[in-house]
Amino acid sequence: MADTSNQLESQADEDVRKELFTEAVSKYTQLLELFPAESVRWLCARGQCFLKLGDHKLALEDGKRAKNLDETSVEASVLCGKEQKEHTDKQEDTGYSAVSLCSQKILEVKYKICEDEYYKENKPRMKKDTQLETQLVQAAYECLTMERLEESLAIISKVISMDPGNIFYRTFRAQVYFNMKQWAKVIQDYWIIPKPHRKPDVWKQGGKALMELWLPVLAEFWLRKATQLSGGKDEEAAFLFQKVRVRRLYDPLTQDQPVKVDFTKFGRAIFAKGNLFFS
């Protein structure tokens, strides 16, 4: 029986090398019928042949069967991941909206970006008192340096009520919110600053906040702008941009798999989320 399985497997492997995938599928099917106890590697091999033949449904079925038999099988995990990626690439999603994806309206709906006082045109403005504003900003800064964040926030918010469109005040409060890990509030203040007036550090810190909120499309945009405006000198912004992109692309493919893909200083890397056993 062992000779029979070895012979059939060798023939099937040879068919794969010759790209005779239909013939290989037939031989792997025979092996699965004759020797079901050794089925994981043959299910994976047959699934790869189905992928080459464009039959994604059967490929996924073989991948799932193999994972059910051995959930630690890397070959089965890779097969399922490849099938999902190719199926996603080829499948036309009629509900897809590029505008909706790129705008990520969750910012306006959930975090009420446009409900800031700045956007209320009919709201009466306080009479400008430059000396008072300067004193309050100094007090807010002193509280910030002493990590009295709540006090600093209260003071700088008072200043912003006097001059809602002031870029420096908005940047200052965004930093306070960042230190408080109130990520949505960070974006709310930075959003008001006109794009031409956003410095590289604003784009980068906004990108970090968007990462924490896990709005990857927007995070990539902000971090890319930070990298471009710094002339490519800001290595942290460039690194974070790649990190977000890798997570956005690979997290859906490895969600149910024993591995994850991340971006490190050496490039893309695969990490195990648990013990891996090779069959």
pLDDT in tens, 100-156: 444 444 555 445 555 666 665 555 566 678 889 999 999 999 999 999 999 999 999
Maximal CA-CA distance, the chain:
94
SS3 of residue 261 by DSSP: strand
**Confidence at residue 70, expressed as pLDDT on a 0 to 100 scale:** 77
We find that the CATH architecture of domain 2-90 is Alpha Horseshoe (1.25)
**Confidence at residue 275, expressed as pLDDT on a 0 to 100 scale:** 66
Enumerate residue ranges in the chain where pLDDT < 50.
88-89, 91-105, 109-110
Report the alpha-carbon distance of residue 32 to residue 204 in Å, rounded: 54
Give the closest residue to 185 by CA, choosing from 196, 197, 170: 170
Hey, what are 41's tokens? 């590697």
Whether 270 contacts 261, CB under 8 Å? yes
What pTM was estimated for this model as a whole?
Answer: 0.57
Residue ranges of the chain that CATH labels 1.25.40.10: 2-90, 106-196
Q: Among 3.40.50.300, 3.10.20.310, 3.40.47.10, 1.25.40.10, name the CATH number for the domain at 106-196.
A: 1.25.40.10
